[in-house]
């Protein structure tokens, strides 16, 4: 019974079925979505950690399809929304400590830059990989990154930039964050960046895709 | 201008049409903010670029905020960067239903119309192409770009209503640009390039097609620009009926040329940042030459930058581009 519900939940996340009301995907119209199945699974006695594992696996498949250009940005965002809908039901267990997340990930688009589609995808995929994500939004000033790190000293930081004119703004962010909290690890990403650039500005890692980010984050807790 | 377009198709000479106004703004010693707010300054910037370089045609500033501002979106106007939209104007079916299609006296629309009118009246030796945003990208700026990506699936009716309103405004705006005397419009639809071909067709091309139908004729060309397209949605771009298609640096130019009919002008695609801004004259010359050689067999090709050339690209780089085109043409 549980297994069947978890299987359904996993399908909803993989194919972007958010909830009963969502008409997408057309072949699942009128059926329950990730929202309903997550609740049902909990009610039926499934362990929150089992549900989390299911979500992580499903999002992994979605990320893989995106990396292989089999799906586009909208499909990936729909899956991420479905994942978030299910995750809502797990929030109380995270708060009580009954389920442990892997850690906290703070992400934002650097100041001067308003591109956020890539940053949003990374945030959702990392959440889907079992991390708590604090999304600072776009055009994030240095002080805001520093403040967030002070509030969450164990957190890992991700910075996104899509413009050549704003990628240079990442360096002062890294300097300020490291000055306030020398042990904080920082990953950077966005289309114009490269691994060499990341090294040159003092970042701990560069991620070309959300998958890279997740793999690197896992090495930090291994 | 069908005549101008037709002359490209029969000419052996390669036409160069980089999308740029920033060198002009810098040449007249004004800020980006002044140029995007004051029609007279904007016009003087276009004129300065036109006089300084061997442009085959001029373009007005690629400012993707004018239309959203007219709808009521809040704008941030930095002194020396392109303006940006902040926040979200509409968020659900109800706010979309309540949204009014603005008249052409809103925000900076009058300043843009003035700039185009002055440029069309005073730069008479070459065509002038106006600029505007595309319907899907405009709708994304009003509704939030990430949200509209999922909105097309979970709230398609509301999004279609929003797209219809954006399209109505863009038709009015393009007709006014046409009345100002310009020869066409470069319509920037970057966000549609993040969609699959099918979705690009349904949520961008169908609406662009309506605009093309309402404004394009022998004297007014729609140049549809999509720098998000990596090659996967060229088919959808072709169906719009735009006489000219403009591609970004993410696409293989030869593949794009193969995917487009021979009577459609195909423009692109030197990286505005990697080549024009960060390169040196030598590398710009080489990359321009390489692209010209690769595309030599296609009569419908116009060499251009993949997108707007950003502020502070060195003049020497732009000159190197034109000199590569000139040398290439001498050998034809
Ligand atoms: C959509 C888009 C827009 C939208 C943005 C909407 C939004 N809310 O994000 C709009 C229309 C508003 C826009 C505006 C502008 N844009 Co724009 N835009 C694009 C476009 C077409 C796609 C970007 C995108 O979302 N890609 C999809 C996502 C999924 O990919 P991604 O962002 O690269 O993210 C992936 C990875 O990089 C990585 N990643 C991203 N962040 C992070 C962070 C971490 C920590 C990690 C690990 C990984 C990671 O993971 C993501 C998923 O795989 C690109 C062109 C292109 N084809 O890339 C131009 C582009 C980025 N824009 C460009 C420009 C110049 C502008 C403007 C200045 C244009 C203007 N004249 O007004 C303004 C700038 C506004 C500002 N100050 O930010 C240029 C930048 C050139 C440069 N190198 O500097 C580009 C490259 C177009 C071009 N060829 O010229 N744009």
pLDDT value, residue B8:
87
A77 touches B at CB < 8 Å: yes
Domain B2-272+279-330, CATH number (from 3.40.50.920, 3.40.50.300, 3.30.470.20, 3.20.20.210)? 3.20.20.210
**B195/A contact by beta carbon, under 8 A:** yes
At A7-61, the pLDDT tens digits run 999 999 999 999 999 999 999 999 999 999 999 999 999 999 899 989 989 999 9
B199 chain-A contacts, CB cut-off 8 A = 72, 74
pLDDT tens for B241-282 read 999 999 999 999 999 999 999 999 999 999 998 899 989 999
The angle at the Cα of B45, spanning B40 to B48, to the nearest 5 degrees, equals 125
Angle between helices B156-179 and B145-154 (to 10 degrees): 120
Q: How far is CA B187 from CA B208, B231, B316, in A?
A: 9, 18, 28
How does pLDDT run across B45-87, given as a tens digit for each residue? 999 999 999 888 999 998 999 999 999 999 999 998 889 998 8
Q: Residue B315: pLDDT above 50?
A: yes
What are the structural domains of chain A? 2-96 (1.10.1240.10), 104-221 (3.40.50.280)
* Comparison of pLDDT for B87 and B119, the residue scoring more: B119
In this predicted model, what pLDDT tens digit does every residue of A75-105 receive, in sequence order? 999 999 999 999 999 988 888 888 888 999 9
Question: What percentage of chain B exceeds 70 in pLDDT?
Answer: 99
Q: How confident is the model at residue B9 (pLDDT cuts 50, 70, 90)?
A: confident
pLDDT class of B1 with cuts at 50, 70, 90:
very low
**What is the rounded CA–CA span in Å between residue A148 and residue A142?**
10
Q: CB contact, 8 Å: A44 with chain B?
A: no
Taking only the tens place, the pLDDT of each residue in B158-200 is 999 999 999 999 999 999 999 999 999 999 999 999 999 999 9
E strands present in chain B: 58-59, 74-76, 84-86, 128-133, 184-188, 221-226, 244-247, 265-270, 301-305
3-state secondary structure A162-216: CCHHHHCCHHHHHHHHHHHCCCCCEEEECCCCCHHHHHHCCCCEEECCHHHHHHH
Kindly state whether A221 is in contact with chain B, defined as any CB-CB distance less than 8 angstroms: no
Tell me the chain A residues in contact with residue B152 when contact means C-beta distances shorter than 8 Å: 74
Cα(B65)–Cα(B73) distance, rounded to whole angstroms?
A: 9
Decide if B145 and A116 are in contact by the 8 Å CB cutoff: yes
If DSSP codes are grouped into helix, strand and coil, which group holds residue B246?
A: strand
The pLDDT assigned to B169 comes to 98
ipTM entry: 0.86
Mean pLDDT over B210-221 rounds to: 96
Contacting residues of B for A73, CB less than 8 Å apart: 149, 194-195
* Closest CA to ligand 1's atom 54: B228
| Residue given tokens 């979705």 in the structure block | B199
- Residue B2 reports pLDDT greater than 60: no
Q: Which of residues 70-129 of B touch A (CB under 8 A)?
A: 81, 84-86
The 10s digit of each residue's pLDDT in A133-180 is 999 999 999 999 999 999 999 999 999 999 988 999 999 999 999 999
């Amino acid at each position: 019974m549980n297994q069947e519900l978890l299987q359904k939940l996993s399908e909803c996340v993989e194919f972007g079925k958010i909830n009963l009301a969502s008409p997408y995907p057309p072949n699942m119209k009128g059926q329950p979505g990730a929202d309903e199945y997550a609740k049902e699974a909990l009610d039926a006695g499934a362990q929150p950690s089992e549900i989390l594992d299911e979500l992580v696996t499903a999002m992994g498949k979605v990320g893989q399809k995106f990396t292989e250009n089999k799906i586009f940005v909208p499909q990936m965002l729909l899956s991420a929304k479905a994942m978030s809908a299910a995750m809502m039901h797990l929030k109380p267990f995270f708060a009580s400590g009954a389920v442990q997340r892997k850690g906290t990930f703070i992400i934002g688009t650097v100041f001067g830059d308003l591109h956020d589609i890539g940053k949003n995808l990374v945030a959702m995929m990392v959440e889907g990989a079992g991390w708590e994500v604090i999304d600072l939004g776009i055009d994030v000033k240095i002080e805001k990154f520093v403040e967030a790190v002070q509030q969450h000293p164990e957190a890992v930081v991700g910075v996104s930039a899509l413009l050549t004119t704003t990628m240079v703004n990442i360096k002062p962010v890294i300097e300020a964050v490291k000055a306030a909290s020398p042990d904080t690890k920082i990953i950077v990403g966005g289309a114009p960046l490269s691994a060499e650039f990341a090294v040159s500005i003092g970042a701990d890692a560069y991620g070309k895709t959300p998958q890279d980010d997740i793999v690197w984050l896992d090495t930090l807790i291994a | 201008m069908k005549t101008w377009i037709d002359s490209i198709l029969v000419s052996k000479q390669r036409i160069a049409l980089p999308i740029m106004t920033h060198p002009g703004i810098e040449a007249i010693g004004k800020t980006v903010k002044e140029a995007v707010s004051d029609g007279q300054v904007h016009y003087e910037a276009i004129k300065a670029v036109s006089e300084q370089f061997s442009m085959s045609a001029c373009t007005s500033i690629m400012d993707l905020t004018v239309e959203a501002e007219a709808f009521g979106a809040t704008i941030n106007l930095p002194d020396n960067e392109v303006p940006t939209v902040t926040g979200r104007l509409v968020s659900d079916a109800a706010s979309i239903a309540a949204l009014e299609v603005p008249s052409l006296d809103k925000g900076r629309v009058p300043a843009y119309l003035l700039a185009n009118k002055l440029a069309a009246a005073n730069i008479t030796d070459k065509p002038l192409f106006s600029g505007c945003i595309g319907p899907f990208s405009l709708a994304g700026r009003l509704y939030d770009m990430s949200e509209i990506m999922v909105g097309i699936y979970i709230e398609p009716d509301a999004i279609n209503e929003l797209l219809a309103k954006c399209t109505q405004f863009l038709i009015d705006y393009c007709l006014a640009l046409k009345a100002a005397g310009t020869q066409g419009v470069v319509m920037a639809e970057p966000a549609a390039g993040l969609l699959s071909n099918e979705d690009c067709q349904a949520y961008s091309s169908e609406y662009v097609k309506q605009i093309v139908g309402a404004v394009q004729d022998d004297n007014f060309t729609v140049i549809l620009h999509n720098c998000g397209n990596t090659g996967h949605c060229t088919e959808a771009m072709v169906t719009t009926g735009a006489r000219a298609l403009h591609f970004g640096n993410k696409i293989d130019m030869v593949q794009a040329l193969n995917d487009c009919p021979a009577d459609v002008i195909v423009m692109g695609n030197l990286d505005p940042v990697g080549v024009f801004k960060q390169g040196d004259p030598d590398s710009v010359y080489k990359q321009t030459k390489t692209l010209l050689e690769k595309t030599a067999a296609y009569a419908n090709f116009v060499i251009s930058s993949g997108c707007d050339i950003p502020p502070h690209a060195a003049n020497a780089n732009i000159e190197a581009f034109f000199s590569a085109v000139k040398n290439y043409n001498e050998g034809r």
